[in-house]
Amino acid sequence: MLAEHMTWVEYQEAVKKIVILPLGAFEQHGPHLPLNVDVVIPSRLAECAAEQLEGMVLPAINYGYKSQPTSGGGPLFPGTTSLDGETLIHLILDILRDTYRHGGRKFLLLNGHYENMAFATEAVDLFLREAKDARLVILAWWDIVSEKLVKEIWAEAGFPGWDTEHASIAETSLMLYFTPEHVRVDKIVDDQSERTPPYAIFPPPADIVPKSGVLYKATYASQAKGEMLAKEITESIVRIVRQELA
Amino acid sequence: MLAEHMTWVEYQEAVKKIVILPLGAFEQHGPHLPLNVDVVIPSRLAECAAEQLEGMVLPAINYGYKSQPTSGGGPLFPGTTSLDGETLIHLILDILRDTYRHGGRKFLLLNGHYENMAFATEAVDLFLREAKDARLVILAWWDIVSEKLVKEIWAEAGFPGWDTEHASIAETSLMLYFTPEHVRVDKIVDDQSERTPPYAIFPPPADIVPKSGVLYKATYASQAKGEMLAKEITESIVRIVRQELA
Amino acid sequence: MLAEHMTWVEYQEAVKKIVILPLGAFEQHGPHLPLNVDVVIPSRLAECAAEQLEGMVLPAINYGYKSQPTSGGGPLFPGTTSLDGETLIHLILDILRDTYRHGGRKFLLLNGHYENMAFATEAVDLFLREAKDARLVILAWWDIVSEKLVKEIWAEAGFPGWDTEHASIAETSLMLYFTPEHVRVDKIVDDQSERTPPYAIFPPPADIVPKSGVLYKATYASQAKGEMLAKEITESIVRIVRQELA
Amino acid sequence: MLAEHMTWVEYQEAVKKIVILPLGAFEQHGPHLPLNVDVVIPSRLAECAAEQLEGMVLPAINYGYKSQPTSGGGPLFPGTTSLDGETLIHLILDILRDTYRHGGRKFLLLNGHYENMAFATEAVDLFLREAKDARLVILAWWDIVSEKLVKEIWAEAGFPGWDTEHASIAETSLMLYFTPEHVRVDKIVDDQSERTPPYAIFPPPADIVPKSGVLYKATYASQAKGEMLAKEITESIVRIVRQELA
Amino acid sequence: MLAEHMTWVEYQEAVKKIVILPLGAFEQHGPHLPLNVDVVIPSRLAECAAEQLEGMVLPAINYGYKSQPTSGGGPLFPGTTSLDGETLIHLILDILRDTYRHGGRKFLLLNGHYENMAFATEAVDLFLREAKDARLVILAWWDIVSEKLVKEIWAEAGFPGWDTEHASIAETSLMLYFTPEHVRVDKIVDDQSERTPPYAIFPPPADIVPKSGVLYKATYASQAKGEMLAKEITESIVRIVRQELA
Amino acid sequence: MLAEHMTWVEYQEAVKKIVILPLGAFEQHGPHLPLNVDVVIPSRLAECAAEQLEGMVLPAINYGYKSQPTSGGGPLFPGTTSLDGETLIHLILDILRDTYRHGGRKFLLLNGHYENMAFATEAVDLFLREAKDARLVILAWWDIVSEKLVKEIWAEAGFPGWDTEHASIAETSLMLYFTPEHVRVDKIVDDQSERTPPYAIFPPPADIVPKSGVLYKATYASQAKGEMLAKEITESIVRIVRQELA
């Protein structure tokens, strides 16, 4: 499933099926999660889905668009290393173009970093000017979590909306499920900014970003919740791909 | 207040106060609204706010980023005329840079078109690499409507979320309030797509875009609702600017 | 005629006829004229011509290329807010490309700001690489004023050439005709630079730019002259479009 | 004087004086003149001026911006090989930037191809964002020919304006003076387009470009006229540089 | 050592030491090696070196510049997925810029894909325009293998030069050492193109690329040779970094 | 043969044959050679080859990519004036595109400056996306010198490899053969850097660049060696072009 482990001989067949490109980032995720959370989650979900879809997973975009203060802590947190919008657009576009040249026609861009969405959309729009017969889906994993599961997982803590779920219950749970060895369980905290304005302020004032980089109650995370999320999201991805790219 | 009507002599004082740049688009808004809805609404709100703030309103960005199917009908509707992401980034950046050169330090980017947000954010990020002492707010008018007012205005129709409010109750009401002469009241319809998937599909299938270009129940719009929206939004803008850019 | 007031339903027919894109700027025009002179004049001329041609007028380019000292006062005048060359090229290109996608084939780019010309030309050249069957005219309104009318209008003041007519008789007269409410008649002055070298100097020395931003004798302007200009230019535009884009 | 013949040891002193960059093109100039007319003329004028100014002449820009039909025959003539606007801007900018790094502060951009002007201006504007203490003049050689000399040289043929002087009396005369061995004297013709509209048409119709590529009466050219032009222009360049860049 | 596994708290100290960015590619490496060879080798060497240097390894560039026929089989091999030059330049530049913002001053760019070199160099040159006090080394692992070791490892097969060593003894041996589970030992072949011209031909004729994608004698590879290479290269990297970036 | 001396009438036939574009640079070459060595050598070789091939030589790229310390002395030597990578890519691309438009299909890019290679390759790759039936060879003159001739010419001095041959025996000999009037024979020196590391260091330390800019033993140069090199290289070019572009 992982294109990076294939030889070119294997790749040439695999590319004709479903091609999944995980879109990640290199971004702070609190004192307990590694900087590659946004790469790990979509990559592992992509693997799970690819297994059922007989799809192929391309190497992930491992640096993404600039983290914003109220959805990820913002650019000033140490570690958060981001691309200019134009760079990310062309990075995704070039990968799509070359994969198309090799025969790829059906693409899932599986996003793990909110701020990537608009630039991935632009890359796809530019790609379609050339690749008239390609079909693509861009999907952020949190956008397809069912209301039912949200109620279940955030039953105790209360659901704050996906924006402020950064480095909190969903991401911590998924990391506990996918790579528990990289979660510093003793460092997990609940935190929040003093306020979350519904607009963007530049440069960001201190009170809109929590000191820890955790935007909500990460202590409510668990491996079991991670498993529930991973399984439901995988099923949904498989269903969506079959429906939209069949 | 309108910079376009000022002479350079008047401008040189005005630029030192609050500078408002409305971010619009040229986009289909159903069979009853003109193509410039996304310019008119933020421009008129900007004027209302500027009056109280003694601010200056720059000429609006009158072409915006590409309309997406589930939030605006998408690029295939006749009329919708959009800029590439890079063009929009540089358009906003150049205007900010030159205004800064003339003494502008406090900027409100008042957005009327959802798809502009990420590219406006990128423009501001690039701007701040040069303009170390500038301060900016980017604000989309719908993001600051209070829950209380949402309940009141969508009491009968039910609130579908802002995404699908395109060309519907809020925009039609605001246009009835600001420029009733451009609303074809006899053409107002309720409509909706067959489905609104929580992911993007390229090219967009027919069933995710309503035929009319109206994404919800526009017939529930009224001038009175437009007035209520305009007044509350204006007050909020004034309060936000005073708080964040004072 | 104004595309911005059309609905998409109306636009889809109108785009197949003549499409006029006014090219303006945001530039100082002396102590008596507003900063949007270069938008107002081509936009209003476009409307006049479109009426006779059954053409459609797109929203104007409202920020243009950088004003030069000897033809517009230069970039250092407060208010003059300009785009980099690459931004303007792509702004015009994107608008042409999307309008072509909707069925536009016949375009008039009606320019009101001298410095835009080369960049509009480049945009059109890039556009024609893709749009093989499009036909376009780029026209600056002053370039089609007849010698006869020049003699008549500048009979008293003497014609200094179009370069130094900035914010002077022609533009002031046209603004008195089109939007007299925005002309500060009590502020109209005659002025000129100490010298007008036939080459460009960077950075511009003070003696090549008049203090007022008026480059010639604006006091000789009148509404009647504005009407004469507007009528002749409109007739010429109509004739040219019929001849070249029929 | 020619930087290309200097060693780096010689260059390091020379760069501190006046630096002249000739701006040329590779463009058709009728059946009698070589494709490098627009390089030869400003390069040779630059040498003449540099001798008196103790200046240094950089290697010329040998491909320029796109020839336009009514000022050079247009892009469809065989041979005319041009750069996109953005390429030319960056080509000039990079050369200025590196020369500045070596100590260059006083620059003359001596243009031999009309269509280069706006893009050279943009390059200089971008350059000055970085090079705060640089001073530059951009000058096209025809713009500084005195009225007196125009009257003398075009006494018989009549002066048609500089636009249509392409490949005609001035350029042919200068080439007869500078490099007579490259002028096909037996191929010199008078020609003209059927019409010269005061606007641009895309794609260009056949009747606005003369078949030969000569836009006026080249048979009136002579080596003597070339010498008169060369000497006057050189003197003017020297005077202008001394005045503006001293 | 791996920045991707660090939290932001850990990263903020680590970034002040040596920062290593592996430069890889996604490129065919014969029927026996996976497509990520050029990522694995520099990443693993970076880890080995970072251990001794107390350095930090950033996530690798996982798509590189376009493979050339005579050094990697060329772009037409299935799987080889490459970036345009400009994209790669900006990708590396953006990562350097943001890492510098967090305090990084000493950088090793450790390259595993020949074709990346010039574009990495350009990225660094642009970076140094802004980051005046940064110090960097760009190093391709094969360029620092000692002559002594070359003689030893290629004793039997003969050393063909590094260009044609693609997917051959060195890379196969290193992969057998680093990730033997991804080497298809039963698919290892010796191969070569019919000719290796000392110039580039576009489009590439069939006889300059071997059918298998292996450019030399891969059967002479062994895990032991991989270990020898890895150890010597690691030692050299450590020595070089200590010498040049101390 | 020289396109710059042709008229458009002559060019239109010549372009259909072999088109040679010399790729040069403006770069220091020691205290004895002029700054245009990298333009002169490929231009003169191109002329020699074109004579036998009935080919056409375009005006050379006269500014190239950035000189590197260990192959050319680096950017800090006075005189070395270079283009950004993107500028060079587009410069070459634009020339190829327009020449193709005029009927050119067979191109030799004859390089005289090592650092140009990757950017010329990128330009050709972008060109081939549009020009499906074009065929090109990119060739650096030193890469085709036979081993036999290397042995002969470097018999006394010893061959140091082409990298450090900068401004040394080969280039000095070729300049003595092609333009002896521009060689300062009294300034010829032998020199070398204290060390030539097999990796790049930024900023370059003083000990990797020789003070003179000569990287090896220029005193072993002679006009006779220049003639031997020129003749063999010309023959090889002719043979290669006939073989690859026939």
Question: What is the rounded average pLDDT of the residues D30-43?
Answer: 98
Say yes or no to pLDDT of E109 above 90.
Answer: yes
Question: What is the rounded average pLDDT of the residues F221-246?
Answer: 97
pLDDT tier, A138 (very low <50, low <70, confident <90, very high otherwise):
very high
Choosing from D13, D156, D165, D166, the catalytic residue is D166
Q: Tell me what the pLDDT averaged over chain E comes to.
A: 97
Distance from CA of C112 to the nearest CA of B (A): 15
pLDDT in tens, D15-25: 999 999 999 99
- Note whether D63 contacts F59, CB cutoff 8 Å: yes
pLDDT in tens, D197-217: 999 999 999 999 999 999 999
pLDDT in tens, B109-121: 999 999 999 999 9
Helix (H), strand (E) at residue D71: helix D69-72
- What local confidence, expressed as pLDDT, does residue E246 receive? 84
pLDDT tier, D95 (very low <50, low <70, confident <90, very high otherwise):
very high
- Note whether F4 contacts D79, CB cutoff 8 Å: no
Q: Residue E16: what residue type?
A: K
d(CA A107, CA A18): 6
- What local confidence, expressed as pLDDT, does residue A246 receive? 84
- What local confidence, expressed as pLDDT, does residue E76 receive? 83
Handedness of CA E42, E43, E44, E49 (dihedral sign): positive
List the structure tokens of A51.
């297994």
Q: Under a CB-based contact definition with an 8 Å cutoff, are residues A32 and E5 in contact? A: no
Say yes or no to pLDDT of A215 above 90.
Answer: yes
d(CA D145, CA D132): 31
Name beta bridge partners: E201.
F137
Q: Under a CB-based contact definition with an 8 Å cutoff, are residues C199 and C179 in contact? A: no
pLDDT tier, A76 (very low <50, low <70, confident <90, very high otherwise):
confident
Handedness of CA E216, E221, E225, E231 (dihedral sign): positive
pLDDT tier, D246 (very low <50, low <70, confident <90, very high otherwise):
confident
pLDDT in tens, D107-153: 999 999 999 999 999 999 999 999 999 999 999 999 999 999 999 99
- What local confidence, expressed as pLDDT, does residue D76 receive? 83
- What local confidence, expressed as pLDDT, does residue E217 receive? 96
pLDDT in tens, F116-168: 999 999 999 999 999 999 999 999 999 999 999 999 999 999 999 998 899 99
Mutate to test the interface with C, among B1, B2, B4 (most CBs of C within 10 A): B4
- What local confidence, expressed as pLDDT, does residue F33 receive? 98
Q: Which residue of A has its CA nearest to B143?
A: A198
Q: What percent of chain A has pLDDT over 70?
A: 100
Q: Does the beta carbon of A136 lie under 8 angstroms from any beta carbon of chain B?
A: yes
- What local confidence, expressed as pLDDT, does residue E88 receive? 98
Q: Which residue of E has its CA nearest to A77?
A: E8
pLDDT in tens, C74-109: 888 999 999 999 999 999 999 999 999 999 999 999
- Note whether C7 contacts B28, CB cutoff 8 Å: yes
Give the number of beta-carbon pairs within 8 Å between D and F: 163
The closest CB to that of C15, out of B3, B78, B87, belongs to: B78
Q: Is C38 a catalytic residue?
A: yes
Q: Does the beta carbon of C78 lie under 8 angstroms from any beta carbon of chain B?
A: yes
d(CA D55, CA D1): 6
- What local confidence, expressed as pLDDT, does residue F158 receive? 97
- What local confidence, expressed as pLDDT, does residue B12 receive? 97
The closest CB to that of F99, out of D29, D81, D102, belongs to: D81
* Phi, psi (rounded to 5 degrees) for F23: -110, 110
Question: What is the rounded average pLDDT of the residues F44-73?
Answer: 96
List, by residue number, the catalytic residues of A: 27, 29, 38, 113, 115, 166, 171
pLDDT tier, B226 (very low <50, low <70, confident <90, very high otherwise):
very high
- What local confidence, expressed as pLDDT, does residue B246 receive? 85
Q: Tell me what the pLDDT averaged over chain D comes to.
A: 97
d(CA C43, CA C58): 9
Q: Is C29 a catalytic residue?
A: yes
Report whether the peptide linkage leading into residue A160 is cis, meaning its omega lies within 30 degrees of zero: no
- What local confidence, expressed as pLDDT, does residue F246 receive? 84
The closest CB to that of B86, out of C39, C90, C182, belongs to: C90
pTM for this structure?
A: 0.98
Interface of F with D in 11-40 (CB under 8 A): 11-12, 15, 26, 28-36, 39
Q: What is the dihedral of CA D102, D104, D105, D111, to 10 degrees?
A: -140
Say yes or no to pLDDT of E95 above 90.
Answer: yes
d(CA A228, CA C158): 84
Residue A133, Cβ density class (10 Å: 0-12 exposed, 13-18 middle, ≥19 buried): exposed
pLDDT tier, D67 (very low <50, low <70, confident <90, very high otherwise):
very high
Q: Under a CB-based contact definition with an 8 Å cutoff, are residues A20 and A57 in contact? A: yes
pLDDT in tens, C211-234: 999 999 999 999 999 999 999 999
Q: Is D102 a catalytic residue?
A: no
Instruction: Output the CA angle D37-D39-D43, nearest 5 degrees.
Output: 120
d(CA C189, CA E178): 81
- What local confidence, expressed as pLDDT, does residue A221 receive? 98
Q: What percent of chain F has pLDDT over 70?
A: 100
List the structure tokens of A224.
């079991």
Q: Under a CB-based contact definition with an 8 Å cutoff, are residues C30 and C167 in contact? A: yes
C82 chain-B contacts, CB cut-off 8 A: 94, 98
pLDDT in tens, C8-43: 999 999 999 999 999 999 999 999 999 999 999 999
Nearest to A114 by CA among A147, A153, A66: A66
A93 chain-B contacts, CB cut-off 8 A: none
- What local confidence, expressed as pLDDT, does residue F76 receive? 83
List the structure tokens of A43.
């990559």
Distance from CA of C181 to the nearest CA of D (A): 32
Question: What is the rounded average pLDDT of the residues A110-116?
Answer: 98
d(CA B25, CA B40): 10
Q: Tell me what the pLDDT averaged over chain A comes to.
A: 97
What is the ipTM for the molecules in this complex?
A: 0.98
Q: What percent of chain B has pLDDT over 70?
A: 100
